[in-house]
Structure formats: structure tokens, C-alpha cells
Amino acid sequence: MRIDGSTVLVTGASSGIGRATAIELARRGATLELTGRDEHALEAVAQATGGRFLVADLEEPKESDRVAEWAEPVDILVNNAGLGWAGPLSAIELTRAERMVRVNLLAPVRLTGLLLPGMIARERGHVVNVASIAGHVGVGWEAVYSATKAGLIVLSDALRVELRGLGVRVSVVSPGPVDTAFFERAGHGYERRFPRMVTPERVAVEIARAIRFDRAQVFVPHWLAFPAWLHGALPSLYRRLTRFQ
């Protein structure tokens, strides 16, 4: 898929990975459509990319409809908006869990569902779902977050089957820890020494490559493919090695 000359809708474009992706794709010649909740931040990204923006809260299902209507026609959709929370499952407030499911999973379901018919009609499109290594292996004390990302990964697998031969591609980009406001917003810092954080700009380059070279699954950093593979192929060994049995 050519990025140059394509119209790209990026959700969560006001911060972190979304902002870096918008800037990277604009540098590669795309026209940017940006959405998020923080108007000032979106305005700054719009200025940096020459794109336009719409303020929308994707926790509210109807807002996805408004974003899709505003953005059409879209060649590339980057479902990136998301939030996390860490702590024991019994301590999570239901409203927080619901918010994560709505933003991390239901908004991509709705936005993709609304934008796919146009892409299929034009026989040209690419959907990038920004998941997480947590969705492949399940991270302790991030159970609901991991579940939303696992949902996004399987959604992408299923969609790829449905879209075969229709000219629309699907990529999943699964980062490990990334140096953004994500952890602070989730109410905790990133305290582990390993894996080390990567920059949002590095994730943005991988997103651009996934689109350009039609990659179904990309891990950032790439070596995270190994624990994901081990978890799927030899789950008992994975549990033993990570002492999560």
C-alpha cells in the first residue's frame, strides 16, 4: 500500500504513538485526519502535519459514527487510541473496565466496520490496529487491558480472512513498553528494567513499514515475537520460564 497520496485517519493522534505516527505518515506524503480528545494537542499535531482534526471521545459509541462520517473517504485507518490500568482484577472499578473495552476494542470495531465498505468499494485500504505484547501473552495485574488487546489481535486475524481478495489489508502492531504518557495516565509508572522502553517514533516507523510492506503482525522491538510465539506454541514452557504458572 502506498502511503504517499493516501488519506489516513489516526485515532489517539493527540499524544504518544498516535502523534508520532501522524508525523511519520505526513513525512511520507499522506494526508492526515486526526482525532482525540485534547483539542490543543490535536491542533499542534495538525499544524505539524498539515492535517485536519476532530475532537471526539471514543468512549461514546456514537462518536465513532461522527468520526467516520467526518473522515470519509479513508484509505488507511490507524486504530491507536487506547488506555490502560494496572492492579489486581478485584480492585478495578467496573466503569474503568468498561471504558477500556469501549475505547480499546469497541471503537476500533465500530470505526473499522463503518470505513470498510468504502475501502472495499474502492478495492484499496489498510487497517492498522495498535495492540500490545500484553494481548499476546497476558500481563499480570493488567488483565482487562490485556484482554482488550487480545480481542483486537483476534479481531484482526478474523478480518484478514473476511477481506481476502478484496484489496483491503490488516496489520497488527504490538509494542512492548513505549515511552509515552500511557503509564502515567494508567495511574502507575513503568517500573520494570526489562523490557526497556522504546520511543513512540520507533513504533511509528514500524507502523509505516507495516502499511508499506503489508505486514500482518509486527512486534516492537522485533524480538518480542519470540515470547509471543513461545506462549502460543509451548504454553507450559512459557509459564515455567516466566514463573506465571
Ligand X SMILES: NC(=O)c1ccc[n+]([C@@H]2O[C@H](COP(=O)([O-])OP(=O)(O)OC[C@H]3O[C@@H](n4cnc5c(N)ncnc54)[C@H](OP(=O)(O)O)[C@@H]3O)[C@@H](O)[C@H]2O)c1
Which of 24, 59, 142, 206 binds ligand X (CB under 6 A)? It is: 59
Q: Is 92 helix (H, G, I), strand (E, B) or coil?
A: coil
Taking the CA atoms of 197, 201, 204 and 206 in sequence, report the sign of the dihedral they define.
Answer: negative
Type of residue at 187: G
Q: How far is the CB of 120 from ligand X (least distance, A)?
A: 25
Q: What is the dihedral of CA 200, 108, 43, 15, to 10 degrees?
A: -30
Which of 57, 65, 72, 201 binds ligand X (CB under 6 A)? It is: 57
Which residues from 212-241 bind ligand X, rule CB under 6 A? none
Q: How many residues bind ligand X (CB under 6 A)?
A: 29
Cell readout for 8 is 489516513
Identify the CA nearest to 127 among candidates 93, 152, 98, 104. 152
Non-local CB neighbours of 239 within 8 Å, separated by 6+ positions:
245
Q: Contact between 54 and ligand X (CB under 6 A)? A: no
Q: Contact between 14 and ligand X (CB under 6 A)? A: yes
Q: Contact between 28 and ligand X (CB under 6 A)? A: no
Q: Is 145 annotated as catalytic?
A: yes
Measured distance CA(216)–CA(126) in Å, rounded: 11
Which residue is catalytic, options 53, 85, 145, 219?
Answer: 145
Q: Which stretch binds ligand X (CB under 6 A): 9-17, 66-74, 88-96, 236-244?
A: 9-17
Q: Contact between 24 and ligand X (CB under 6 A)? A: no
Q: Contact between 51 and ligand X (CB under 6 A)? A: no
Q: Contact between 175 and ligand X (CB under 6 A)? A: yes
Measured distance CA(245)–CA(239) in Å, rounded: 5
**Residue 188, Cβ neighbours under 10 Å: how many?**
14
Region label for 107, one of left (φ > 0), alpha (ψ between -120 and 50) or beta (otherwise): alpha
Which of 181, 216, 234, 241 binds ligand X (CB under 6 A)? It is: 181
Which residues from 112-151 bind ligand X, rule CB under 6 A? 130, 132
Nearer to ligand X, 83 or 92 (CB): 83
Q: Contact between 153 and ligand X (CB under 6 A)? A: no
- Residues catalogued as catalytic: 145
List residues binding ligand X (CB under 6 A): 12, 14-18, 36-38, 41, 57-59, 80-84, 103, 130, 132, 175, 177-178, 180-182, 185, 200
